[in-house]
Structure 1
């Protein structure tokens, strides 16, 4: 295998990982774009979704089969959390929302620790070590499936936001909350729908991660740290920015791991992150307020 083949393989694997990063970041940036707050419970919800996928597997349901039911369940959970807990408890103050989501994160993580302890768990699926032979490299089948599903979800989300009445209402609330309310849009409902969509994205990402990754009560924190970096790189509230940023970060991580070793794979991500903040603080696709 030539050095060019190794480089191409690293880029390809980076794109596979970056697609899942992008899916997690889309949920985070969607909530920010509409509610204008950072959801500190994002990582804990991802951990809960991975445990839900794990329990489904223990009950005999493949993670890919459980994807749609869990997405619907977590949409409902996200909707309920925003409508029944976060919204009423915040009393319309964004600072309160930040504190509430932080509190929810602590509660969810500790509930997971109480129920599942701190043990690390994995699943053994038949296709876990299956590969696709591309001639110059082998591509892990679960990563290829994750890439395809992530792209499909991104397209469906774009259709929802661009072509449906709910999507138009979400964009209206994101642009001008008071104006949308005066036009007859139920802002509280749209807030809850947006939070639910973010949670559904996490449920799908959890099912895509489970065949190749471990489950732990705090596993979501590492992914959300990368997702937050992606959101800032792409521009706060920009869904195209989150998708492009996720793919870019995946490639940078893969190339950094190739050059500096697997343990330093994320070094390049945060170097790029600092450079972008210095050169273009609004991110690649962000706009000035």
Structure 2
């Protein structure tokens, strides 16, 4: 039996890891909430963002956290342009076509990264990568503590943007009723593109938070997006609060599963939760029936 200190440390580290999972899931659920489709390119975009952080550090010595100043606006612009110039025109307004287009984009991005970076696994060496903070008898990873505060700040800024700004109100209007929003003069195509841009920007932040402690290869995003999809289902499709709370919960489940069953089996608990939610509450914690 593990001591209370070990269990508490596992729970806290799980919460901190779950915060980054939540941020990845927020980008996924935001796109679903507005466009009502799953963005299959989400994982590949996260991988591209992680490689962008890696390149900025390897080529220019830029710290992963400072790299956000470059990657966040860059990936917002990329997400906006891809939706506006590729996904929108190629889908011809058909949701089924959007799914196929995003799946095609995922394949293109992943193979482009394989061409450029091969299948090698890369990492970033930063002096604080293995640093810990002592809180009484507990030892907490410094990068994960930083990640929690950054995710909370991003969540607050996103809430303020959606609640107070004109564009945020337009996003909520399109999410509720696309045709009605168009009738009152809202440019639905522009709102779709902004939403994709916000989703990509969330991934850029998550990439900077992951790189000090995680490895990156051209397929790494697939593992994260599977966890993010579980979080979205748990929290409720389209629910941003559900994604945040679901991410924290899934982080704790993964941490405790890894503690009791071994690190390699840590994600078994996540997918057990996924199956149970689908069986007993398919709308998730905060989802509503269609």
**Range into which the TM-score falls when normalised by the shorter chain:** over 0.9
1:109 maps to: 110
Deviation at 1:272, TM superposition (A): 1.3
Which deviations, in whole Å up to 9, do the C-alpha atoms of 1:25-72 show, x marking residues without a partner?
Answer: 000000000011000000000000000000010111101001122100
Alpha-carbon distance in 1 for matches of 2:283, 2:206: 26
Q: Is the 1:68–1:204 Cα contact (8 Å) retained in structure 2?
A: no
Which deviations, in whole Å up to 9, do the C-alpha atoms of 1:216-238 show, x marking residues without a partner?
Answer: 01110000000000000000000
Alpha-carbon distance in 2 for matches of 1:39, 1:261: 32
1:24 maps to: 24
1:147 maps to: 148
TM-score using structure 1 length = 0.99
- Aligned to 1:285, the other structure's residue is in SS state coil
- Aligned to 1:133, the other structure's residue is in SS state strand
1:287 aligned onto 2:259: no
Q: Is the 1:9–1:136 Cα contact (8 Å) retained in structure 2?
A: no
Alpha-carbon distance in 2 for matches of 1:27, 1:99: 19
Q: Is the 1:18–1:248 Cα contact (8 Å) retained in structure 2?
A: yes
1:202 maps to: 203
Which deviations, in whole Å up to 9, do the C-alpha atoms of 1:139-164 show, x marking residues without a partner?
Answer: 11111111110111011101111111
2:157 maps to: 156
1:85 maps to: 86
Deviation at 1:215, TM superposition (A): 1.2
Output aligned runs, 1:239-254, within 5 Å: 239-254=240-255
Alpha-carbon distance in 2 for matches of 1:218, 1:276: 27
- Mark the runs of 5 or more structure 1 residues left unpaired by the alignment: none
1:36 aligned onto 2:36: yes
Deviation at 1:12, TM superposition (A): 0.1
- Aligned to 1:139, the other structure's residue is in SS state strand
- Mark the runs of 5 or more structure 2 residues left unpaired by the alignment: none
2:277 maps to: 276
Which deviations, in whole Å up to 9, do the C-alpha atoms of 1:232-285 show, x marking residues without a partner?
Answer: 000000000000000000000001111111111011111111111111110000
- Aligned to 2:217, the other structure's residue is in SS state coil
Alpha-carbon distance in 1 for matches of 2:193, 2:281: 32
Alpha-carbon distance in 2 for matches of 1:63, 1:123: 8
Q: Once superposed, what is the RMSD of the aligned Cα atoms?
A: 1.0
Output aligned runs, 1:42-121, within 5 Å: 42-58=42-58, 59-121=60-122
Shift >4 Å, 4+ stretches: none
2:181 maps to: 180
Deviation at 1:2, TM superposition (A): 6.7
1:6 maps to: 6
Alpha-carbon distance in 2 for matches of 1:105, 1:277: 26
Alpha-carbon distance in 1 for matches of 2:136, 2:255: 20
TM-score using structure 2 length = 0.98
Alpha-carbon distance in 2 for matches of 1:220, 1:2: 33
2:266 maps to: 265
Alpha-carbon distance in 2 for matches of 1:68, 1:159: 20
